[in-house]
Structure formats: C-alpha cells, structure tokens
Structure 1
Amino acid sequence: MRTPTTGLLLSTLLVVAAVAGALPGAVAAAGVGTGVESPAANPTTPNVAVQAGTCEFPVSATDATGTEVAVEERPERVTTLSPSAAQTMWEVGGESQVVGVTRFASYLDGAESKANVSGSGQAAISVEKVVGTEPDLVLAPNVVPNQTVTQLRDAGLTVVKFEAATSVEDVREKTTLVGELTGNCEGAAQANAWMMQNVAAAENATAGVEPVRAINALGGGFVAGDETFVDAMLAVSGATNVAAEANVTGFAQLSDETVASLDPEYVVVTYPGAVDLSAQPWADTPAGQNNATVTVDSTYLGQPAPRSVVFGVRNLTEAFHPDAYGEAQFVSRSEVEANASTGNATDENASAGDESTDANATSTTVASDSTASEDGDGGAEVTTGTATPTETGDETSSTSPGFGAGVAALALLASALLAVRRD
C-alpha cells in the first residue's frame, strides 16, 4: 500500500536520481517555456548553417516557475545545479565563467577546479554552498524544487529554472537560451549545429531500415517511456521504444508480465550486468534469446545536452544498425567550427574522423564479428558474450562507465521500493 510517507520517500529518491543523471530526461534543462516535440517532427539535413543569436544585455526570459528573470549584464560567475547545465556551459564555451557545479559533473575537464555545490545525504543541492559561490547567475534543472529556487532568490541570487528536456529540439532551445543568458551565442550556435548535423546524419542513415525494438531498463522494474529524453534518442537512432509503444509516459515501474509482452530486441542499460537476460522477464524475449544488451554511459542517456546527444546517438546507431552507421555522414565539432569561421555550413559529406574519443562509452552484447569503429569517434564496441565497458578517458569521473552516483541513486530507489512493498 502506498502511504503518504511512501510517496514522500519515492519523490525524494527520484529527485536525487534525476539530478544524478540516472533518470534520463528528468535531469532536463530545456529551453524555458518549450513544449514536447518529437525530433521527427522537425526534419533536418546534415548541411546546417551556424546561426548565432544576438548576445545583447540586458536579456530576460520567463522560466519554469513563471518568473520573468532579467540578466542585466554578461555574468562573470555562473553556478550550475545539474550536470546537463554544466555540460551545456562547457559546450557553448562558458567553462571559464562557471564557479560551481554538482558532484555529478565531475567528468567534465576542469570541473575539479569548481566549487562542489552538492548537498549531503539525499540533498541534491546545498543552498548555502550555492550562495557561497557568489554567482551572478544560477542555472537550475527542472528537478530542483521551487522552494529551493525561492530560497536562492531570497538570498539575492538570479536563478533561471528550466523545463524538462524530452526532445532534441528541447536541448537545442535550451542551448540557445543558455548562450543568450551567458553571452555565449556563437558557441551555442556552433554546439547546436554540431548536434543537429549529427542527429540528421543518424536519421538519414536509418531512414530506409526497419527500426529495432528497444527498451531502456533503469533498474527496479523502471523503464523510460514516451516524453523522455531517452525516447527521443532511441527514435533518432533507428529504434522503436517499446515502452512508449505500450503507452508508458515518463518513467514507470512495470510488472514482469508487461515487460515480457513488450518483446524487445535490445535492452539499453547504463552499466554492464544491469539486467540478467537469462532470467525472467527477459529470457523469452528476442533480447534475452540473443543476449542483446546495449550499454551506454549514463552521461549520454541521462544528461540532455549537445555532447550527450551527439555521442549517445552515434553509439546507439552503431549498436542498432552497424551497416547504416558505416554510411552515416557524421561531422566533428572542429569541422563545424572551421566552417563557421569561413561562413560555410558543414559539408554533408564531411566525416567525423578527427572527433575526440569522448564518444567511446558504449558496449553491446550481440552475435557479431564486428569491431569498434576506427574513425576516431569512439563508437560502440560490438562483442559476443558478456559486455564490458569501454574506456572513456576524461569523459568520466573516477568511477567506471555507468557506475557513478546516478546508478547508486537508482539502486537506492530500487531498495526503497522493495522495502515499501514489505511494509
């Protein structure tokens, strides 16, 4: 029986998991006031020009609390309350402005020099630590309670709270807004061009193939359904989210019988061994019969931001459709920047050959003799047998891929659910 205490416990744990990036899409920092759109509703082509917004101050925006927030001048000190917001600041070229991050952003190069504003225990954010960074601007994800936002504003801070990001378009709009609020419009335009060109490349490459049936298993019986960032990533990568197909919206806990009836061909997880495909409910599904899991670093599935979209989509596309992946015209960030400097949109025939190995964060377990791609983008490692995480260099913290705080939060959530059932 679900009691008021149970509801409070689950709500608290879900917030911790979301801020950690364990619940993809819930960590969202989307464009303020944006709705939910499917990437398919906005067809793109690889030839996307870099179009910077106008960085003029003062600038204002109405945030998720319904408050019109004004930024009078370019902020010199920015504190981020989610890893997706921090990643976005890095991608738009605003790393030097950032003075505070959460512990879940520790994978970002240079994050160790920033103040850690995470709270202790189950507290995702420490108001005192945030105030102590003396920020000109605070970027808050949608999972930060309005009460916390109010506390920060009462302390004299300028805070923008973002809506949930559940589509690539949400991420694009959020990136544009972050660029405008922080005076990094050109960097935001380049980050968006890089992201959208790679999204278009994946969509074009998989347009003529049959979508695979996939599900994102989060642990404790939870799955990601429609209106989530994961659902958008799966769609772009040539997969049908069977949970969304079954009218699951957001994140939901499903029974074993329901999971088995969804008949997934692939199970997407964020760490090896997250599910036992030899046991029920997976054993009788195509995924269980073929031992087909796709392991993607939780950074890419749980943090709606440009880098996560690019590398997450590449890894998923390679795992689901290796032949189409080989034909995809992905582009590197350096190519986008080079073309922007000459005033040209990126050539759709450009390759991602000089992309850093940041994307190397996926392993799959499928019957295949294929090896990891050698074009420098660090795509999925396709092996037979038990999946092992690939090295991701400075893209992760000191923990192994997928074994960060987000997974720990989900483990805590699952344990709490079991305890609740026994009460």
Structure 2
Amino acid sequence: MRRQLAVILTVLLTVSAIGPAVAGAGAAAQESHPQCEYPLTMTDATGEDVTIEDEPESVVTLYPGDAQLAYSIGAEDTVVGMPVGQYTESLDAGDRTDISGDDGATPVAEEIIGLNPDVVLAANVALYNEDLLEQLEDAGITVVVLDTATSLEDVRENVRVTGQVTGECDGAEATIRWMDERLEIYEDALENESAPLAYYDGGENGNTHGTETFQHEVMTTAGLTNLAAEEGQTGWVRLNSEVVVDANPEWIVYPDRTESPPSAGALEGTTAVSEGNVVAVDDNAMSQPGPNVVYAIETIVEEVHPDVYDDIEGDLEDVDEEYGDDGNESDDGSESDEDDESAIPGFGATAALVALLAAAGVVARRR
C-alpha cells in the first residue's frame, strides 16, 4: 500500500514495532505462571488499571491479530465477535459476528456494543482510535489494550496476557512452551553456523527494521545478521538503497504480499539479488507479535540453512505432535487437524495500516 503521507508510515511502524512509552499489560503478568483468578486487575497499554470482575464468557477480539492470539491458546470458544475477512480467513469464524468494516480490519463500534461482551481484547493500534475506545467505555464495556512487542520475550507476554484476559492461562502457557521448544531447536542447531548478512525489504521507501524490534530477533534467531542493525538502526526505519548496496547483503528477506523483493530493482548490485538469494516470509507472521513468529523463523532457516533444516525438521514435527500445531498440548500426542497457519494467521502490516488510516481519517492508496 503506497502511503500518502510519510508520517502515517512512521506512526504505523512505531505502533507495530516500538509502541507507546507507557506501562503495558505485560507488566501485570511478570510471574512465570500467572493464574486466571478473578477479579483480575492489570495495567494495560493505556496506562490505566483495568479490572475484569469474573472469568469472561464472551470476548470480542478487536483486530485480526487479537483473534490470532485467542485462537492460538484455545480461547476461541469464548470469542463472540472478531474481524472476518482475508486477514482471518484461516480461522474458523463460524457464526461469530464480524465486527469489522468492509476492509476486514477496521472495528465498528455499533457491532461490538451490540454483542455486549464481557471484555474486548485490543491490539496496540487501538490507541490511535480514541473515538472507538471512548464509545466502548461509554457503553460500559471493559477493554484491555495489549502492549507492543519489541522482542520475542514481549511476544510471549502478549500470549500470556491474552490467557489472563480470556481465562485460558493454561493454554497460554502451553503455547509459550511450544514456542520455546521450537526456538531452542533453532538456536541449538545454528549455534556454530555462519550468519550471513541479510536485508529485510519491507517495501516502498526502504522500510526495514533494526534492533529493539521482534522482527530483528526473528532474523537473528534464524541465523542471519540484520543489515539495519549493523548500520546502527533502531526500530523501523527507511534505509537508503545506496546504503544497502554498499553493505552488499548475501540475502534479502521480504513479506510474501509481493511476488518478489519490492526493492530488487534498486538492489541489483548486491550478492543477494545477483545470486537469487531471496526469502519470502508470511507477512502476518513477520509483522505481528504472536506465536506464528516461529514459522517465519522456520521459513528463513529452511532457505538460508537447508542442511540444518534437514537435520531439525523431524524435531520440529515432534514438538508439533506433542503440543498440536496451535501450541496446546495434545491429549493423545497426535497432531492437530488444522495445519500450521490455520491456528495462527496474524494481523499483517497491510491490515494494520488500513485500521490506522481509518482511525486517523486518512485515505491511502494500496501498496
């Protein structure tokens, strides 16, 4: 989606990668194994205390990524409303109410209020839709706004807090164990491997990520050296193509919403482009702080370190069989009926931009 205004891009990337400088919902769940005990009071990303009086029986997930989190921990039975569309198409929405607009991402207050849910789970981008939050507050609806994630540990906290909000603490902890076991397999297998220099090509204007983003950790965990971080960049930034060409990355990673690296034409002088060393990763997995980050890592490892991947593929399958693809431990040790991505689709950068622009009242052109 081509941005009309550079500032909109900057705001969006700040929301998805850095977040507001306030105490987040993760601060209420620092213990290793939080219990779902109610009444529950936590400080969410608004900086205000939020109290959930009783275990929720009905939950609305405000954005696609929130639905992803709820489904990934086994809380889908409590979800009565969610965005239904291309960003949640791999979830079984069933007869749940579509609370989004025509774009499948922007929440509609009237739909949510009509459901009168016990609690609304909201991604951090909700902070840029103050009118919506005010309408829900005026209707007496409890809203918990998740903190942003700047690391894989923050991703774990998003999962953990979602468990507390939905009453699925055990499912959240099982999902975290599933993530951790997969991450340990990647890290152990790559310990003595070289880490080639790589550039994340996020699209127009040179969008890429430096340190203090979970995307940076995705790349380094997958056995790459992040070019933007090597250039001293922090958060999401726009990196001039000349800087990238001079650094000469061996690999380019890019979101699969495009058929090829968006900036390939400007990076023809690099080893990555000349040798065809490019990796397309699931856009939702790479842009949203949920359990699906493990699959983005797996995709990169498979392409960049194929021999390593051949050695660990069976181990990864064993973990999935133990927990089920959605991260919840299987009673019979068998694999879940759903495929990997059906449990955890995420909320990609495109959807986040749609939601942000709708909240800000700005019309943008498609990427």
**Mapping of 1:202-221 within 5 angstroms?**
202-220=186-204, 221=206
Partner of 2:25: 32
> What is the distance in 1 between the residues matched to 2:58 and 2:138?
18
Deviation at 1:299, TM superposition (A): 2.2
**Residues 168-188 of structure 1: per-residue CA shift (max 9 Å, x gap):** 111111211111221111111
SS of the counterpart of 2:178? helix
Partner of 1:134: 116
Deviation at 1:59, TM superposition (A): 1.0
Q: Are residue 62 (structure 1) and residue 43 (structure 2) matched?
A: yes
SS of the counterpart of 2:136? helix
> Given that residues 74 and 182 in structure 1 are in contact (C-alpha distance below 8 angstroms), is that contact kept between their aligned partners in structure 2?
yes
Partner of 1:160: 144
Which one is further off, 77-86 or 326-335? 326-335
**Aligned pairs, number:** 343
> Given that residues 79 and 101 in structure 1 are in contact (C-alpha distance below 8 angstroms), is that contact kept between their aligned partners in structure 2?
yes
Change (3 A) 1:115 1:18: farther
> Given that residues 25 and 229 in structure 1 are in contact (C-alpha distance below 8 angstroms), is that contact kept between their aligned partners in structure 2?
no
Q: 1:116 aligns with which of 78, 91, 98?
A: 98
> Given that residues 332 and 354 in structure 1 are in contact (C-alpha distance below 8 angstroms), is that contact kept between their aligned partners in structure 2?
no
Q: 1:87 aligns with which of 55, 60, 68?
A: 68
Q: 2:259 aligns with which of 270, 273, 292?
A: 273
Q: 1:143 aligns with which of 125, 144, 153?
A: 125
> What is the distance in 2 between the residues matched to 1:340 and 1:106?
23
Partner of 2:230: 245
Partner of 1:3: none
Aligned partner of 1:93: which letter?
G
Deviation at 1:33, TM superposition (A): 4.4
Q: 1:305 aligns with which of 275, 290, 313?
A: 290
Gaps of 5+ in 1: 1-6, 36-50, 347-352, 360-391, 419-423
Q: Are residue 186 (structure 1) and residue 170 (structure 2) matched?
A: yes
Aligned partner of 1:92: which letter?
I
Structure-2-length-normalised TM-score: 0.79
> Given that residues 36 and 167 in structure 2 are in contact (C-alpha distance below 8 angstroms), is that contact kept between their aligned partners in structure 1?
yes
Deviation at 1:72, TM superposition (A): 0.8
Q: 2:302 aligns with which of 300, 318, 331?
A: 318
**Residues 155-213 of structure 1: per-residue CA shift (max 9 Å, x gap):** 21101111111211111112111112211111111111101100111011111111121
> Given that residues 124 and 148 in structure 2 are in contact (C-alpha distance below 8 angstroms), is that contact kept between their aligned partners in structure 1?
yes
> Given that residues 217 and 224 in structure 1 are in contact (C-alpha distance below 8 angstroms), is that contact kept between their aligned partners in structure 2?
no
> What is the distance in 2 between the residues matched to 1:122 and 1:114?
14
Gaps of 5+ in 2: 357-361
Change (3 A) 1:289 1:406: farther
Partner of 1:261: 246
Aligned partner of 1:202: which letter?
Y
Structure-1-length-normalised TM-score: 0.70
Deviation at 1:356, TM superposition (A): 7.0
- Report the RMSD for the aligned CA atoms in angstroms: 3.9
Partner of 1:174: 158
SS of the counterpart of 1:143? helix
Q: Are residue 197 (structure 1) and residue 181 (structure 2) matched?
A: yes
Identity of aligned residues (%): 33
